[in-house]
Amino acid sequence: MEAAKRKKLEEKGWRVGTVSEFLDLTPEETTLIEIKLALSQYLKERRQQSMTQAELANKLQSSQPRVAKAENGDASVSIELLIRAMLATGATPQEIGQVIAQVS
């Protein structure tokens, strides 16, 4: 957020901070969320290039709504499902590792 906007909000009594601060997340929890979001985005990009959500769900023996949740970063989706889905789209372990490594 730009400094001027932040200052205006604070002057009006708003408390300005990050989601991590608001939710009182540890650095580890914040990093885990960022990793899941990065994997979700990568999955969505890969899947759109090669198949529909229904086709991916069939490969995973899951449901299309579950695939949609995985692609949209739903907290109920495990990292295991994200990785299985990425592998089902043809991603390599190296590509998955690169996605995770890019999280800062």
DSSP letter assigned to residue 77: S
pLDDT given at position 1: 67
Whether residue 9 has pLDDT greater than 70: yes
pLDDT tens for residues 44-73?
A: 999 999 999 999 999 999 999 999 999 999
Q: If you average pLDDT over residues 35-48, what whole number do you get?
A: 96
pLDDT given at position 3: 86
Q: How far apart are CA 84 and CA 87, in angstroms?
A: 5
- The pair of structure tokens assigned to 40 is 């979700």
Instruction: Spell out the long-range contacts of 58-67 with Cβ–Cβ below 8 A and sequence spacing 24 or more.
Output: 59/88, 60/84, 60/85, 60/88
pLDDT tens for residues 21-32?
A: 878 899 999 999
Q: If you average pLDDT over residues 15-42, what whole number do you get?
A: 89
pLDDT given at position 29: 93
